[in-house]
Amino acid sequence: MKLRIRACIAIGCMVAPTLLLSAASAEPGAPAPDLRQEGTYTVRTSPLVQDLGGDVVARVDVGSELRVLPTTYIKLHPSKPSTRCATLELVKGRMEVEVPAGEPPTHSVQVKTAGGLSAVSLGGHSIFASGKKGVTFANVKGRMLIGKGAKWGEVKQGMAESYAKGTLVTTRAIPGAASLSAQDLLLVAPLGGAIQTQVTPTGENLKWFVVTLSKLEGKSEVPVGSYTTNGAPVALSELSAGRYRMVARGFDEWGLGYGESQPALVHVMNYELPKDAHIVNGRVYLLPGQRLKVLGSKDIEMTYGEQSNYFVSLPVDVGLGATSSQVARFRVKGSSNEGRLEMASRPFKAQIDLSPHTARWPDDLVQVSIRLTNQAGRLAPEAPDVKKLVTINSRRVELSWRNQYGVLVANLPPQTGNGPWKVNVALSDKLGTFASHSTELHRGGTGS
């Protein structure tokens, strides 16, 4: 039951607060919020943490609007000096205050709200919120008084009171911190490609959440962004290689929230695709000898194969070696959560040539030759999945191909005009172009 007082509140014996005003200096038009100077301020970009004097520390959420009023001196004990109180009016938003203990404290804070209510901390940790529904005062730890005129009462530790138009609406326990779960703890994706995962905040009696994302760089945290949700999963995308930290804060219908969730750490690893490599259904197809450069934090390790448990520090690159398919597995050291990178060899490779190199074209005969091999290194001249495109000065020409000991050969048809003639030969399979060759022919010979 809340104690209502008109004359005496017991800290020993403490009289009802008597207000003595003393103006604090102000600098109109200050470039940044300074809660030690009179004025109206809005916290716009990042939470504001400030000492209000006497080790009274306020933390104000982004988007909050406050008016700094003249310093107030309040008589909280008949035989002790008045307590100096920084005086703020919380127009909208949320703030937390820490006041050093004392009976009474020598320095404190008085928070005013709409409807004429005021709150004075007698030491400890307090939360104040102001929104569309009304205002809320929460005593996390310590002692807090709420009053209007001669009527003052104490909010029990661990409890919150919410008021609408100056009338008490609800008394309840302060809601607990939110929880945050991440869909993926390790993401593996191509450099510059789409990276997306989801995080989901939850919490009992919490109606909406703010998820804050930052990137860990050494011992520093670089803010990336914040996301507001009613509890629906938050999609995170466009993350470059590195480590990310996410926390969630939850709020009830009155805008009251306390504490952050345990952080969720997500690692992102990127890989660079070499020329003519392709991704199909999450698998990377490489030409023989090609390797993928990998980018990630020092906390990531890897191994090859589905069954291996031998992990090593993240290398500079990964590849197929002598195999036609392979899987690289990655994990954060000490974690069982893994990311996968499936790789396979492109089905074919080719050597393309135009000869003789000294031909004076179109007077001399010029032949195009293609030596096509499959994944096993065997000649595959008649592979049905390989398409051949030959152009002369960007105009497509059809050639008559013949098989000479496993090598495809065709005569280049002579062209009219004086040249030069740029000849391009491109080979493609179902994944796209995998080999090309370009040569310029003229009447004095060839040039590549």
What whole-number distance in Å separates Cα of residue 40 and Cα of residue 93?
A: 13
Q: Are 224 and 215 in contact (CB under 8 A)?
A: yes
Give the tens place of pLDDT for each residue, 274-301.
887 888 888 999 887 889 999 988 889 9
Nearest to 347 by CA among 324, 327, 326, 328: 324
pLDDT band per the 50, 70, 90 thresholds, residue 304: very high
Residue ranges with strand state E in 54-207:
57-60, 65-74, 83-99, 107-112, 118-130, 135-148, 151-155, 159-164, 167-173, 179-182, 186-190, 196-202
Among 311, 375, 314, 320, smallest CA distance to 343 is for: 320
Q: What letter represents residue 134's amino acid?
A: G
Pick the CATH number of 348-447 from 2.40.50.140, 2.60.40.10, 1.10.10.10, 1.25.10.10: 2.60.40.10
Q: Which residues are paired to 35 by β-bridges?
A: none
> pLDDT higher for 116 or 28?
116
| Fold: same for 179-268 and 348-447 | yes
Domain 4-173 has CATH 2.60.120.1440: yes
Chain segment 32-70, per-residue pLDDT in tens: 688 999 999 999 888 899 999 999 999 999 999 999 999
CA–CA dist 116, 135 (Å, integer): 11
Place of tokens 């404290």: 105
272 membership: H or E segment, kind and range: strand 264-272
- Concatenated DSSP letters of 286-325: E-TT-EEEEE--TTEEEEESSS----EE--SEEE-TT-SE
CATH of 179-268 among 2.60.40.10, 3.20.10.10, 3.20.20.70, 3.30.1240.10: 2.60.40.10
By the 8 A CB rule, do 410 and 400 touch? yes
The pLDDT > 70 percentage for the chain reads: 92
The contacts of residue 340 (CB under 8 Å, 6+ apart) are: 188, 327, 328, 329, 330
* β-strand pairing of 283-286 with 338-345: parallel
| Residue 364 confidence class, pLDDT cut points 50, 70, 90 | confident
How would residue 128 be classed by pLDDT, with cut points 50, 70 and 90?
very high
The yes-or-no verdict on residue 328 having pLDDT over 60 is yes
* More confident: 59 or 193: 59
CB atoms within 10 A of CB 219: 5
**What are the boundaries of each domain within the chain?**
4-173, 179-268, 270-345, 348-447
**What three-state secondary structure class fits 132?**
coil
380-394 average pLDDT score: 90
182-207 mean pLDDT: 87
pLDDT over 70 (residue 25): no
Residue 316 near residue 347 (C-beta atoms within 8 A)? no
Residue 210: name the closest of 46, 406, 398, 32 by CA: 46
Q: Average pLDDT, whole number, for the chain?
A: 86
The CA radius of gyration of the chain, in Å to the nearest whole number, is 36
